[in-house]
Amino acid sequence: MKTIDELLDEGVAGKRVFVRADLNVPLDGTTITDDGRIRAVLPTVAKLAEAGARVIVASHLGRPKGAPDPAFSLAPAAARLGELLGADVAFATDTVGDSAKAVVAALGDGQVAVIENLRFNAGETSKDDAERGAFADRLAELADLYVGDGFGAVHRKHASVFDLPARLPHAAGGLIATEVGVLKKLTEDVKRPYAVVLGGAKVSDKLGVIDHLLEKADRILIGGGMAYTFLKAQGHEVGASLLQEDQIPAVQEYLKRADERGVEFVLPVDVLVAPSFPDLKAKAPTNPATVAADAIPADAMGLDNGPQTNELYASKLADAATVFWNGPMGVFEHPDYAEGTRAVAQALIDSDAFTVVGGGDSAAAVRILGFDENAFGHISTGGGASLEYLEGKTLPGLAALED
């Protein structure tokens, strides 16, 4: 896999360089609520611009239905990129149409443009190779070189991620090189004890990685909505808590395998409950109750780890040498249910381990709860991509960058 530094050594001045970034930032209307993904690709864009390249940044945002949708415009991301670069960033109002062609043609050496959301074109995500390839052909007309640096999208077989690199000389950006290097530390010659913390809403989203980690990890801590399926699999009632009943047999099998292999599964011993899901906009106090994890009332739902669980999880992470964390422990967006997630983040900081926050909601939580990002070993920009890598899957976007 060629690196961006090798590409720069060959010379990029005056060349049009297509950078497939991940600018899929959360928006409140047109306001970016977390610019972490923009900041993550900034070094690659800046390096290319400083070397005299004509930089074309492209990304998806959200899940539009293959047609323009103002709610998913990349215009706010383009504006923020310009602020962070301290330079004007041009914006094309389409992907491969007249605006994109004109904006790219107007670029001078060292200048940067962002084209509109790639998913406004159905060819970007099409499962039909010919349709996807046709869109990649049109994107290739805009550029001379390709740099893949959108780690959050490398697990997708999309035109700009998989097909376009085959049409242009290509290299991996600095972000992708860093992400892959970190993930190798979680899969090859891992320093032990190796602890994994998995949260989030659905156990079905994590089945593949749990299956793989049973062969790798020493300790797996479960939280979030998925914990209640594990508690139910152990025979406990979970009241109105989130439950994937169809996944109970799989969970029971994993618990059995873990016991046989000596992998420690750690589940909540107490939880915070309330009669209903909290209003995340008003964030009014909800007065949650703390109950034992095996004594959740029938009319209550679990929404976060309880204080005893927070202490337990901190103790299970204290002696770890490597920790991977993906998924919040509760509804961290509401102050009543943020303590479980905060406790895990603090435990990672307090440990002497190499710590990896696996993207997605976990990365957002770290920022929203006010933690110093530099206190962690690495904060990934791609939750889904990280999980699939840890599952041992081949990621199309990485395969496409191989020489």
Among candidate residues 200, 327, 360, 397, the one labeled active-site is 360
Residues forming beta bridges with residue 197, ordered by sequence position? 221, 325
E strand spans, 8-75: 16-20, 27-28, 31-32, 54-58
> Could you tell me the CA-to-CA distances from 46 to 52, 88, 152, 243 in Å, in that order?
10, 12, 20, 46
At residue 220, the 3 state secondary structure works out as strand
CA dist 166 and 173 (Å) reads: 16
360 is catalytic: yes
Q: Quick one: 300 exposed, middle or buried, by C-beta within 10 A (0-12, 13-18, 19+)?
A: buried
Determine whether 80 is an active site residue.
no
Instruction: Give whole-number Cα distances, 316 to 44, 222, 312, in Å.
Output: 37, 12, 6
Q: Rounded distance, CA 286 to CA 255, Å?
A: 34
Q: Which one of 37, 132, 156, 232 is the catalytic residue?
A: 37
Tokens encoding 106: 């107007």
Instruction: Please pick, among 39, 167, 202, 257, the residue that the annotation labels catalytic.
Output: 202
Question: 33: helix, coil or strand?
Answer: coil
Strand-pairing partners, residue 289, are 273
Contact (CB, 8 A) for 329 and 304 = yes
User: Residues 212, 224, 256, 238: is their CA dihedral positive or negative?
Assistant: negative
* Exposure class string for 118-157: b at 16+ Cβ within 10 A, else e: bbbbbbbbbeeeebbbebbebbbebbebbbbbbbbbbbbb
| Mutual angle of helices 339-350 and 360-368, in 10-degree steps | 90
CA–CA dist 256, 262 (Å, integer): 10
- Count of CB atoms within 10 A of residue 308's CB? 15
Concatenated DSSP letters of 275-302: SS---TTT------EEEETT---TT-EE
Residue written as tokens 């059995």?
256
Catalytic residues: 37, 202, 360, 384
